[in-house]
Amino acid sequence: LRRCVFQVTSPNYDKYAAARNVNGSIQLCENTHCCVGYYVIMNGQPKVDYLACDSVEKSCPSSVCETHSHFNNRFLRCVCNTDLCNSNIIWTPESEEPPHTYTYPAAEILKMAVPLAVILLVMFIMIIATKRRSLFKEKKQNLQSSCDDYSLPSPCSCQTVKSPEIDFAHIELQQIVGQGHFATVFQGKYKGSVVAVKVLPADWKPKFITEKEIYELPLMTHAGIVHFLGTGRKPDDNSCFIVLQFAEYGSLHSFLSKHTTSWMSSLKLCQSLAQGLSYLHSDLHSNGVHKPPVAHSDLSSSNVLVTADGTCVLCDFGCSTILRSWSERRCCQSHTTNMEGHAQLGTLQYMSPEILEGSVNLNSSEFLMQADVYALGLLLWEIWMRCSDLFEGGIVPQHLVPYELELGANVTLESLISYVSHKDNRPSIPKHWQLLPQGSALEELLENSWDCEPDARLTAHCVVDRLVSIQSSCSL
Ligand SMILES: Nc1ncnc2c1ncn2[C@@H]1O[C@H](COP(=O)(O)OP(=O)(O)OP(=O)(O)O)[C@@H](O)[C@H]1O
């Protein structure tokens, strides 16, 4: 049965008060596979009006909720056909603006057209001149390596590095080490080394493809990103698998549940985590290859691994998005339209207020990276809440995920929206941290990472810098 987000904010929807099959913020659809979302535009932003199964609409070809405006652009409506897709809309303010239909007399048109034509001509000449200059520079560089290729490199350099196709017969599966919503992860052996093998059932092929695509981007090798060895297909049931570096401590969640840390080891976890995210977000050009920025979009302590040397590595890129860089706007368009991951939402507790409210423009690169930084702030809090040096007498609270203390383990979308978004609450920072030498710097870093205003948040790169300065100014 289709699962749709259920939320009614307007008292005008009396007839939906008796909506069936509602459990918290989820509705199971009986006679439709379509979810619907009604949004109202307030202060230029869409706010949820009504989300539910769409008992009227029987046709919803899109997997994502692309909005169409109604009533002079005051309302938006979207229908879609994937689980929980109706809380995440695709909305472009410009496209919602009513068309302007002014008419000008011919003389007015001429008056405007002449200066415009002059400006365009000057711009055209400048573009040609710049292109010629860069072509000349490129030619000079290329001459050293290849004398007969003078063509400009393609502006679309979302290249991939073809990964080795691994024969399943060459892998020895040992025990299961993790079970996500989609995959089963095994410890295994490949070419004499211990590896992790993530197996996704054939039904989850789109997830597998997204994840493979991210791992296969150029320059994805980094100490903060789990090392990728290749992919393959199991011949018996056609399930897909990804072979990865084995992280000895498993997920950050299970590490923190079992271990407390010292101040220095907590910093090591935090720094490697922030460095991994900063690298993932980076737009890199090196030796003619390009790594575009990538938003993880499902950061949680279950999607961060801890290696034997006590550092974090990012994993699970099944919801990630390759973003357009400013210099290559044309590039990666096909990737950014892959919004299926967002339709499936991330992990509830780590969703930023703007994602919880479904009021983001998913085409904006910044929004997705800012949402990652919000989750990063929560992860830093989670790590420091298990640091014995930050608790008097070394008595550390047991590991809890964000908002577990306040809202319980089985948190609902509704309760999070109210607690995090409407009331602007965050996980509580122990009062006594104020008395510690690094306390106020930690507090400031957390607050600047999980700010309710996405634009006010630090970038992942700034988080790395802040951690470095915290370390240099205070070593317990
Ligand atoms: N490389 C690895 N080394 C050790 N354990 C791993 C590794 N990769 C994954 N795991 C374990 O398997 C769990 C599930 O992995 P992963 O998050 O990739 O699966 P998923 O089905 O995509 O998860 P999700 O439900 O978050 O979408 C992790 O939380 C972790 O405990």
- Mutation probe of ligand 1 site: the residue of 177, 212, 231, 297 with most atoms within 8 A of C-beta: 177
- Mutate which of 83, 251, 296, 340 for ligand 1 pocket (most atoms within 8 A of beta carbon): 251
Q: What pTM was computed for the model?
A: 0.68
Best mutation site among 316, 317, 319, 379 for ligand 1, i.e. most ligand atoms within 8 A of its Cβ?
316
Atom from ligand 1 closest to the CA of residue 200 = 21
Mean pLDDT to the nearest integer, 44-48? 80
CA distance 369 to 323: 9
> What distance lies between CA 159 and its chain's CA centroid?
20
Examine the pLDDT at 330 and tell me if it is beyond 50: no
How far, rounded to the nearest angstrom, does the alpha carbon of residue 430 sit from its chain's CA centroid? 29
Core vs surface per residue 59-82: b (16+ CB within 10 A) or e: ebebbbbebebeeeeebbbbbbbb
Identify the pLDDT of residue 51. 86
Burial (0-12, 13-18, 19+ Cβ within 10 Å), 239: buried
For residue 149, the CA-to-ligand 1 centroid distance in Å is 44
Question: What integer is the mean pLDDT of 274-278?
Answer: 98
In DSSP terms, which residues pair with 208 in a beta bridge?
none
pLDDT 10s digits, 393-411: 778 999 999 999 999 988 8
Please provide residue 195's backbone torsions phi and psi, each rounded to the nearest 5 degrees.
Answer: -135, 170
Least confident of 15-19, 135-139, 157-161: 135-139
Is-contact 451 465, C-beta < 8 A? no
Instruction: Please report the pLDDT score of residue 413 as a whole number.
Output: 85
Annotated binding site for ATP: 198
What kind and span of H or E run contains 213? helix 205-215
Q: Whose CA is nearest to atom 18 of ligand 1?
A: 316
Q: Whose CA is nearest to atom 15 of ligand 1?
A: 180
Closest by CA position to 366, among listed 398, 323, 406, 407: 323
**Residues above pLDDT 90, as percent of the chain:** 48
The Å distance, Cα 180 to ligand 1 centre, comes to 6
Instruction: Give the end-to-end CA distance of the chain in Å, rounded to a whole number.
Output: 54
Residue of 374, 355, 356 lying closest to 364 (CA atoms): 355
β 89-90/65-66 pair status: parallel
From CA 297, how far away is CA 130, in angstroms rounded? 37
What ligand 1 atom has the least distance to the C-alpha of 247? Answer: 3
